Amino acid sequence: MVTALFAVDDIDVAEAFYERLLGREPDVRMGEDFIEWEVVPGFWLQLREGLTAGHAGPVRFAVPDIEAARAFLEESFGLEAQAAVRVDATLSTCDFNDPFGNPLGFLQVHET
């Protein structure tokens, strides 16, 4: 299992952001200041209110079309992702921050 713990200033605002980004409610709630999603089997994204930022990242989410994902991010949230970078023949990435400054990103695997 792998986890990534992010600090957030407001758990309710964070929950709304990540519910919309991931398309579903959290898998786990513990107390009033901690929520988490199992993004893929064995990988848990955890959010806790009241921690210092900079605990993890960037956590990158695989998408089928990185440019469409960048457009979704800007249109839906008003956030800008960096320009997509072609890492090699099979992979592109772009990074952005959530509203709390935690590093996130998208990655696209290209067919060879």
Per-residue confidence band for 54, with pLDDT thresholds at 50, 70 and 90? low
In this prediction, residues 83-91 reach a mean pLDDT of 89
CATH number of 38's domain: 3.10.180.10
pLDDT confidence of residue 29 = 94
Same domain, 46 and 1: yes
Q: Is the pLDDT of residue 82 over 60?
A: yes
The length of the chain is: 112
What percent of the chain has pLDDT above 70?
94
Give me the number of domains the chain comprises: 2
Same domain, 63 and 46: no
Q: Please, which residues bridge with residue 5 across strands?
A: 46
Q: Which residues contact 15 (CB under 8 A, 6 or more apart)?
A: 26, 35, 47
Same domain, 2 and 30: yes
Q: Is the pLDDT of residue 48 over 70?
A: yes
Same domain, 70 and 92: yes
Q: Is the pLDDT of residue 89 over 90?
A: no
In this prediction, residues 71-97 reach a mean pLDDT of 92
Instruction: Determine the structural domain holding residue 85 and report its residue range.
Output: 57-112
In this prediction, residues 64-90 reach a mean pLDDT of 93
Cα-based distances in Å from 73 to 18, 32, 66, 76:
12, 27, 10, 5
Same domain, 26 and 3: yes
